[in-house]
Structures are given as C-alpha cells and as structure tokens.
Amino acid sequence: MADKKITGLNVLLIATAVDVIPIVNVDRDGTTKKITLANLMGSPGPIGANTPNSGEFTTLELPAGTSVNEFSIDGTLAGDSDDAVPTEKAVATAINTKSDNIMINQDFTCWQKNTTFTNPANGIYTADGYYVESDAGGGILPTVNIKKNASVHEDAYEQSCELEITNVGTTGATRYWIKKQAVEDYKKYRGKTVTFSVRYKASIAITLPGKVLVFDGIGSQELDIDSIGTDWTTTEVTLTVNTGADRLQVYFYLIKGVLGTISTTGSIYIQWMKLEPGSVASPLIPKSTGEALDPTQRYYQKTYAQGVFLGTATEVGAVWQEITAVADEDHTMTINVKFPKVMKAAPNVVLYDLAGNAGKVTMAAGDNITGTVSQISDSGFKISATNGATATSRKIAFHYTAISRI
C-alpha cells in the first residue's frame, strides 16, 4: 500500500511500519495549531507517537521537498543528511563547535615556522598562535621539545602537538612552564561565559603539577591536572568574563610553583585546545588546512610553501621581478609587496635571498645582497636593493616572513 496523505491540513504524508492508515485531528485556537494522529482502531496521540495498534511512523513529508525520517541529536552534524532534522541543542552544539574562532589553530594544523622546537625558551612561538611562558623560579625547568606529531592523534585529526619531556627539572618556589595563547578580540566576550577545554594523553602514565586555566586580566578559573594517562582525556573550565576584562588568555601548565615536579620523562600529546562561548565544552570538528591557515595569517605570513621553513634555499614561492636586455649598468631595484591578507598591525619583516641568507636578496649579481625594507604597514611594504655591479638585466628575488603578534 502506498503512503497516505493526511487530510485536514493536507500538508503531511506519513508512512507507517505496518502500513496502517492514520487519521489527523486538527485543533485551531487562535495562533496555535496542534496536529494529532489516530489509528482507525487506536487512540489519538502526537505525531510520531506509537499509539495502540498504529505501529511506528517512519517518514514525515510535506507536499514538496525531501522527506524526514529522523529527529537527530547529533551535535557534529556528521551524517550530512537531507532526511534528518537536528534538535535545538544539536544545532547549538554544531554552531559552537564548527563556527567559533575564539582561538586560532585549535587542533595544531598550522606550523608555519617549523615542526620541531628544541626546548624553546620563554616567549618563543611554536605552532601558529601558541607560545611558551616559563620561569625557573628557584628550581630547574624541565627540558621540553615541542613537535608536530603526525603519528599520534585521534582518527578525526591528522596531527597532535607533542610535548617531549627529556628532563623533568627540579622544584622551584615560583617555577612554571606554560603553553599559552592570547585572544585578540577579547572585548567582544566581556560579560559573557566561555569554556576552555584541552584534550590530551601521554605516552606513559605521568604525574605532574599541571593545570588548565582561562584568565581575563581580572579573574580566572582553573582546574588541576594531577596525572595524565595513556587514553585521550578532556579537561575543561568555564569563566564568566569580567565586563572590565583587559585580555583573554588560555594556559596549559606542565608545572606551576611549589606543587611538585613531573614524575618521569615521556611525551604528552595535545589533540586540541579550544575556547568557545557558553558553559559546555563541545567536541572540536577539525577544519581543512585552508580554513585553519586563514586566521593564522593575520599574525604570521611567509612566502615559503607550507612545510618549507625559514632560510631554506629555494626559488619556489619567492617574490620575483626581472627585466632582460637592458643597458649594461649598475642599478637599484625597488618594488612594493602586498600581503595576501591584512595583518593585525604593521609586522616585523625579515627577508631571505634564494640561498636562504637572512636580511638579503638575490639580484643579477647573485645572492647575499642587502635589501632595505621600508614603509611597512598592515597591508604590505616596500623593498629596495642595489645590484653592486653592471648587468644587462634587472632582477630582484627574495622570500620574506611577516610577524605581527597578538
């Protein structure tokens, strides 16, 4: 028997698992419309209810468009289906999960500077957006190498951030080691609730005086991490940001003060660090490389290809201008460079010639020629260089990095 169209509103088609013809009763009381279903041998009930003898309704359909066979509570919207309607909570979870950009590079997709940092010191940036804050505080800091790890990660991701601890150090009264990110547009979250979550595991069970913390310059919320096991775990804290907040920063502490020291060498893997609106931490849906890279370029840009690092001898991606068959003379070349994305502020620009020499450019006379950068703004800069010898061509070629920190 074919699906039956319910009369009354004449807008609904319902198929039943047992092929029973439903009846619709429509009540109208002002602006309220209520649709109930009844089986010829059963009693009325709301749409989708299993009324006596009516079986289970399996499809909901309007006169035009797709049919609906599920009300989904999946906050990831992973089914990508035209036949499922998400609940209000599922939509809210999906929006918070996919759309928020409070932090950048949340799952450590982007490593433009390098993919390995050997025991980086205080203030050193590593994966895009993240930097180290540390102080021995009367003790000895642990030795921690930070790496992109493409082998240890959950299935939905392609990498994790590895903190390789090769020396645990010794306790100091005010000693700390932090992996940290600051939020640029913190003012928009004043008076609002945010939740910071970190997902992590270790190569071997480790005890440590760690914690996660979110800080707005006035108040903070934190939660201790006393141990890290070999299974993925998520820790979260929630903060209502003060209306007078002058910053919004997130911290992952390996050690903090006199609380103790790390029990053993080994590696800690961070899958993601996420800051989102609301009081509930939701899973992080990974972005494509392009989606993840775009916001990071407000703070860091380079001409080298992704995966090729500063000082590499390569022509690929370089800024290049050349004219041939001109008078055999010494000459100065001057060009303007436009950034592909407007940066947070006028950045620090560093040049590299095609041989990888910092502060230099390549010209007709060869590599290792000094370039002068001027007129730096958030959208570009000017560069000039003199060849230093006669030549029948005019050429200037170089790579650059542009850094504008939060």
Q: What is the mean pLDDT of residues 254-273?
A: 92
Q: Is the pLDDT of residue 179 over 60?
A: yes
Q: Band of the pLDDT at 7, cuts 50, 70, 90?
A: very low
Rounded percentage of the chain residues whose pLDDT exceeds 70: 80
Is the domain of 133 the same as that of 282?
A: yes
Q: Is the pLDDT of residue 39 over 50?
A: no
Is the domain of 154 the same as that of 263?
A: yes
Task: Specify if 383 maps to a domain.
Answer: yes
The pLDDT tens digits of the residues spanning 287-303 come to: 899 999 999 999 999 99
Q: What is the mean pLDDT of residues 118-122?
A: 98
Residue in 360, 44, 122, 272 with CA at minimum distance from that of residue 6: 44
What pTM was computed for the model?
0.76
pLDDT at 90 (0 to 100): 74
Q: What is the mean pLDDT of residues 114-121?
A: 97
Look at the block and give the residue holding tokens 């910071």: 196
Task: Specify if 56 maps to a domain.
Answer: yes
Is the domain of 159 the same as that of 266?
A: yes
Is the domain of 281 the same as that of 305?
A: no
The pLDDT tens digits of the residues spanning 11-25 come to: 344 444 444 444 444
Q: Phi-psi bin for 225: left (phi > 0), alpha (psi -120 to 50), beta?
A: beta
Count of domains forming the chain = 3
Name the β-bridge partners of 255: 177
pLDDT at 16 (0 to 100): 45
Is the domain of 310 the same as that of 257?
A: no
pLDDT at 283 (0 to 100): 87
Residue type for 243, please? T
Q: Is the pLDDT of residue 45 over 80?
A: no
Per DSSP bridges, beta strands 57-61 and 45-46 are: unpaired
Task: Specify if 282 maps to a domain.
Answer: yes
pLDDT at 173 (0 to 100): 85
pLDDT at 17 (0 to 100): 45
pLDDT at 146 (0 to 100): 98
Is the domain of 165 the same as that of 273?
A: yes
pLDDT at 211 (0 to 100): 95
Could you give the C-alpha distances from 249 to 118, 186, 218, 252, in angstroms and in order? 24, 9, 11, 10
CATH of the domain at 397: 2.60.40
Is the domain of 305 the same as that of 283?
A: no
The pLDDT tens digits of the residues spanning 182-236 come to: 999 999 999 999 999 999 999 999 999 999 999 999 999 999 999 999 999 999 9
Q: Is the pLDDT of residue 390 over 80?
A: yes
Is the domain of 214 the same as that of 153?
A: yes
Rounded percentage of the chain residues whose pLDDT exceeds 90: 69
Task: Specify if 109 maps to a domain.
Answer: no
Task: Specify if 97 maps to a domain.
Answer: no
Is the domain of 163 the same as that of 266?
A: yes
Q: Return d(Cα 18, Cα 75) in angstroms, integer.
A: 31
Task: Specify if 73 maps to a domain.
Answer: no
Q: What's the token pair of residue 268?
A: 């800690």
Range of the structural domain that residue 350 is part of: 300-403
- 317-352: b or e for each residue (b if 16 or more CB lie within 10 Å)? ebeeeeeeeeeeeebebeeebebeeebeeebebbbb
Q: Band of the pLDDT at 9, cuts 50, 70, 90?
A: very low
Could you give the C-alpha distances from 384 to 32, 247, 317, in angstroms and in order? 73, 39, 19
Q: What is the mean pLDDT of residues 4-8?
A: 37
Is the domain of 262 the same as that of 120?
A: yes
Q: Is the pLDDT of residue 5 over 50?
A: no
The pLDDT tens digits of the residues spanning 74-101 come to: 765 656 678 888 887 777 666 655 446 6
Strand residues in 303-388 grouped as ranges (E):
319-323, 332-338, 348-352, 360-363, 366-370, 372-377, 380-386
Q: Is the pLDDT of residue 105 over 80?
A: yes
Task: Specify if 154 maps to a domain.
Answer: yes
pLDDT at 87 (0 to 100): 86
CATH of the domain at 144: 2.60.120.260
pLDDT at 38 (0 to 100): 42
Task: Specify if 177 maps to a domain.
Answer: yes
Is the domain of 230 the same as that of 285?
A: yes
Is the domain of 238 the same as that of 257?
A: yes
Domain boundary residue, one of 268, 291, 314: 291
pLDDT at 4 (0 to 100): 39
